[in-house]
Amino acid sequence: MSVSLEFAKQIPKTDLHVHLDGSLRIDTIFELAELQKTKLPVNSETELRELLGAGKQFKSLTDYLKGFEITLSVMQDYDAIKRCAFELVEDSARENIKYLELRYSPILHQEKGLALTDIVDAVIEGLYEAEMKYDIRTGIIICGIRNINPQSSLVLAELTAQYKDKGVIAFDLAGAEENYPAKDHKAAFDLILKQNLNCTLHAGEAFGPDSIHQALHYCGAHRIGHGTRLKEDTDLLNYVNDHRIPLEICLTSNIQTKAAESWEMHPFRYYYDYGIRVTLNTDNRLISNTTMSNELYL
């Protein structure tokens, strides 16, 4: 059944996979840069969109992630982080998203010396104010980063446990996938599971099915972020289906990073028809120049 964009905007929606630092408003980046006396590499919104690659094709996931250096440069103080969190929820609520799970890695917001707890508190405060204003509910997923040492993931897992029942609902592992295996971060996920916390994990996006295997069998992931290459391993595909493990699919992002070569070759429809539990999500509203309504419309 085809869905019109207008219909997609009107229906209640969820977004379970969206990165805070990839979903800023362009004008907010300029305003924060001016307030903070942060020098941006360009002077206009058009140039910044071009530099960030908003909606364009990239060579790889690693290439796609370069734009985050710019967004993170203005997200290094409490008020900026709080504002960005509030605005992401506001933008989501305005397209009738009713439940949003926002993810980010606090360790990437410490360039000016902010404590990890202050960074989490800033996001919690921003989400709380947005929930008071709009008809939406939210949850926070804290991310370890594959290409930063596993000890930092353990610290972030401990932080996740510290904020259990305070707005933080799960732990994730994000970042550059190839050459940074999830199994190296097993200790962090062991801690999470011992605390009866939920965990998701980016896997099968920029690397093959073995990445998904590690996420499930070394780290105990309850959901898989992307999972685009799951189709390449039938045994693993059946395992995911038998255990009803959801995939967090991000169509636009997957095409941009070449996780899928084209819309026609994206495995989303194959997974859906196979019986896999699939969800559609934005990933990065700014970098992918998308909305949840647009992802449903696609």
Active site residues: 205
Cα–Cα distance measured from residue 135 to residue 124, given in angstroms and rounded to the nearest whole number? 17
For tokens 């045994």, the residue is: 235
Of 219, 228, 215, whose CA–CA distance to 281 is shortest? 228
Instruction: Burial-class residue 274 by CB neighbours within 10 Å (0-12, 13-18, 19+).
Output: middle
Task: Assign 199 to helix, strand or coil.
Answer: strand
Q: What's the distance, CA 39 to chain centroid?
A: 26
Instruction: Find the largest Cα–Cα distance for the chain.
Output: 54
* Long-range pairs, 63-66, Cβ under 8 A, ≥24: 63/257, 64/253, 64/256, 64/257, 64/287, 65/175, 65/176
DSSP H or E stretch at residue 93: helix 78-93
